[in-house]
Amino acid sequence: MQPRPPVCRPGLRRQTGIHVNAALNNGCTPEEIQEALYQTAAYCGLPAAIESFRVAEDVLRERGVLPE
């Protein structure tokens, strides 16, 4: 099991974006980021996890990994 930073906590939108960028810089695929965020729902709750997915989607679109 890999350790997960608590980036899904409410109010950490900027920090979540930083972690998603760092994951991409380190070679993670969007699918791996998605899987990590799925696992955070159990720890932070569904509303916070949904917000984390929104942040990740924004970052992925900015980086050109997802189509507009």
Taking residues 27-33, report their average pLDDT. 93
Give how many domains the chain has, as a whole number: 1
Mean pLDDT of all residues in 9-19: 79
Can you give the residue range of the structural domain that contains 53? Answer: 29-63
What does the pLDDT average to over 21-48?
89
Instruction: With respect to residue 15, please indicate whether it lies within any of the assigned structural domains.
Output: no
Q: 31 burial class (0-12, 13-18, 19+ CB within 10 angstroms)?
A: exposed
| Cβ pair 48, 12 in contact under 8 A | no
**pLDDT tens-digit profile of 38-66?**
888 888 888 888 888 999 999 999 999 88
In a domain, 41, yes or no: yes
Phi, psi angle pair for 45, to nearest 5°: 95, 155
Tell me, yes or no, whether 49 lies in a domain: yes
* Helix ranges restricted to H, 1-68: 13-25, 30-44, 46-62
* Separation of alpha carbons 15 and 60, rounded Å: 15
Inside any domain, residue 50:
yes
